[in-house]
Amino acid sequence: MNTLTKYLLEKYLKNFIIVLVSLEIFFVGIDYLQNFKNIPASANLQLLYILYNGFFTLTLALPLSIIFAWVVTLVIFVKNNEFVAFNALGASRRDILFPILFSALTLIFTLIALQTTPLAYSYDQKKKILDNEYFSSTKSDIFLKYDGYFVYFKKLLPLEQIAEDVHVFKIKDEQLVETLIAKTAKFKDNKWEIYDVKVIKKPEVIDVKDSKLDITYADTLTILDGFKPKILDNVYENKSEYSLFDAISALILLNKQDVNTQKIRSIIYNQIFIPFFIFPIILLIYAYTSLNSRFFNLGKFISFSVFGTLIIWGLFFMLYKLTNSGTIVPELAILLPLIIWFVVSIYFYFKKLRA
């Protein structure tokens, strides 16, 4: 790593940390003041609320901080005529831009990695604290389809990975042919095991005189291979919070069941692809930066950079919300606009350089 790269990274990362901490304090502080009356008096729960809210805010603040820190760094370089010095030393645009892009890429991949952890459910945990349900994880009346079965859980405890009062209905040729009734179920070895099972089978040929239900009992049976408790909780409770791994698992399972996966796909695209919207902005901001402060309107530059970033971020956030509600197909509403945004930005970047 040469001296110029070290200098650029030092200045940029210092500004990034300052901007990120400022945004975190602002967003978390405003939210805390708004919900102060609803937060339990317990100091532990208040601290947990701030921590969960801090990570939830991080998913919004980190991409914005990457761009705003770049704007601050460029403004300082222009005001101090450091760009002129860089060029005098023989530094090219690539030499200046590459360390920033590498840093931004590392930070975005770190954010995506964090989305694979339980921290991805921070908004859920924060809301539970507000609703005084943090120590209660019971869900009720969950009904789902799996292969040729319909499964009903009267009560689900996702944290304990236990379900109570389970009914399983086997459907064949649009006819109910078998029913399983169990008192309890437990998620074990990536499968659900049901205990003390009552098996009721309907006769294949129904005769008014001789036909009767075949009733047997079993100590344990296995159902719902791969259906994790958190997937059950989120998919069938109509939630939009997933870790990346759980979202991918849910997508694979629901695809096999021919269930609409539009919402799951939009969540995955939001976590993996949307954060990359910042890179075209980094390129455009750099392309429209002047080397000489004498002929550079800093106020106009800062205003356009900040408001332009917020507009683009708001647009992608709106598209995600539309796809998450099932209004638009996520491939058309998220991936296509993102590709167009990259192509248009790269075109204007090189056009500005040639001007």
The pLDDT profile of the chain, 355 residues, written as one tens digit per residue, is 788 889 999 999 999 999 999 999 999 999 999 988 888 888 888 899 999 999 999 999 999 999 999 999 999 998 888 887 887 778 788 888 999 999 999 999 999 999 998 888 888 888 888 877 776 667 777 777 777 778 888 888 776 788 888 888 888 777 788 888 988 888 888 788 888 888 888 776 666 566 677 788 888 888 777 777 666 666 555 555 778 888 888 788 777 767 778 888 898 999 999 999 999 999 999 998 887 777 778 888 899 999 999 999 999 999 998 888 777 889 999 999 999 999 999 999 998 887 6
- The number of C-alpha atoms within 13 Å of 111 and in the hemisphere containing its C-beta is 25
**pTM higher than 0.85:** no
Query: Quick one: which of 16, 12, 6, 11 has its CA closest to 91?
Result: 6
Identify the pLDDT of residue 185: 87
Give the position of tokens 């919402």.
263
**C-alpha–C-alpha distance, residues 262 and 269, integer Å:** 11
Query: Quick one: which of 144, 103, 92 has its CA closest to 10?
Result: 103
Taking a C-beta distance cutoff of 8 angstroms, is the pair 201, 186 a contact?
A: no
Give the position of tokens 């109910």.
176
Using DSSP, state whether 182 is helix, strand or coil: strand
Domain boundaries, given as residue ranges, for the chain: 3-114+273-354, 130-265
**C-alpha–C-alpha distance, residues 227 and 249, integer Å:** 8
Token pair of 274, please?
Answer: 């949307």
Our measurement of the distance from residue 84's CA atom to the centroid of its chain's CA atoms, rounded to an integer in Å, reads: 42
Identify the pLDDT of residue 223: 78
DSSP labels, 76-135: HHHHTTHHHHHHHTT--HHHHHHHHHHHHHHHHHHHHHHTTSGGGGHHHHHHHHHTT-TT
Identify the pLDDT of residue 57: 93
Identify the pLDDT of residue 29: 92
DSSP one-letter code for 146: E
